[in-house]
Amino acid sequence: MAVAAGRCRCESAGYNPTMFNLHARTAVFDVDGTLCFDGWSIDDRILAAIGECEGAGLHVVFASARPVRDLLPVLDGAFGSATLIGGNGSLVSVEGRVRARAAFDPAGLDALMEAVGRYRATYLADGPWDYAYTGPVDHPILSRVDQGGLARRVELAELPEVVKFLVVGASDMVGIAEVGRGLGLTVNHHLDEAIIDFAPGSTTKWEALTSMGIGEYTAFGNDINDFDLLRNAERAVRVGAHPGLDDVAHVSVAADPEAVANEIALLARAARALV
C-alpha cells in the first residue's frame, strides 16, 4: 500500500511504486519485522521471491540487528552465497566467514559498564560469536538468541571483544540511553520492546555496506535502525508504518508476508528487465 501524500519522499516527484527502473544490482533486506514476523522463520512466499531476485542476478544482502550467529537459524540454510551484516553493522559474513568490523574500545565499554551499574541495568552483550546475558530468564529477547545452539553463554570478561550491547532493563532507560549518546555510541531505543541497542561509534547497516564497497542498492526495512539504510537506497521499501521512516521511504507495504513477497517479486521483475 502506498503511504499518504506528503509522507513519502517519492510521491511528490510522481513516483509510481509498481513501475520503476532499476540500476542497483544489490538488494538489502532487514530481517525481523521485515521478512520474519514470528522471530523464528521466514514465510516460503518471501523466500521464493528473494530467490527470484537471486535468479535475476541481484546480489542479496541480509542486514540485521541480530548477530550473524542468530541470522543463520532464521535463514535455515537458504541463500548460502548471500552477504550477512549482523549487529546493526558490527559484524559481516562473506562466503561463510564471519568477522567483527567494529567493536567497543575498552575505555568506552568501561564507561558504559559504569552506567550499567549506576542504573542497575541488565543486558545482552554479543561478541563475534558467543554472548553474555544478565537479564531475566523469561525476557522475550531470549527467544531470538542462539536459536541454533551454535554459541556459548559466557561472562562478559570472557568475550574477546564486544560488538553489540543490548540493555534489556534499567532503573532509567532514558538516562542510560543518554549516557550512550554522550559516549559517542550509536543508540537505538526501541520503545515498543523496551530495549536499547548500543553499537560502537557510528556503526550502522549502511556504514557496513559502504565499507564493503556497496554504494548502489535497494533496501527493505521496518524500524528506526534502518533509517540510514533506507535513506541512501535507490529504492527504499518500508515494511509497516514506523513514523520515523516517513521521510526516507519510497513506498510502504503492510507488515504481511504476502504483501512483502509481492513487493520483492516486483524488484525481481525490474532486475530481469536489465538482463
pLDDT tens string 145-169 = 999 999 999 999 999 999 999 999 9
Nine-digit cell string for 42: 521466514
**Amino acid of residue 39:** G
Nine-digit cell string for 85: 551484516
Nine-digit cell string for 86: 549482523
User: What domains appear along the chain, each with residue ranges and CATH number?
Assistant: 11-101+204-272 (3.40.50.1000), 106-199 (3.30.1240.10)
Q: What is the pLDDT of residues 16-63, one digit of tens each?
A: 455 577 889 999 999 999 999 999 999 999 999 999 999 999 999 999
Q: Where are the alpha helices (DSSP H) in 105-145?
A: 106-118
Q: Residue 7's pLDDT band (boundaries 50, 70, 90)?
A: very low
Tell me the Ramachandran region of residue 197: left when phi exceeds 0, alpha when psi lies from -120 to 50, beta otherwise: beta
Nine-digit cell string for 219: 533496501
Q: Report the distance separating Cα 192 and Cα 248, nearest Å.
A: 21
| Closest CA relative to residue 162, chosen from 142, 120, 133 | 133
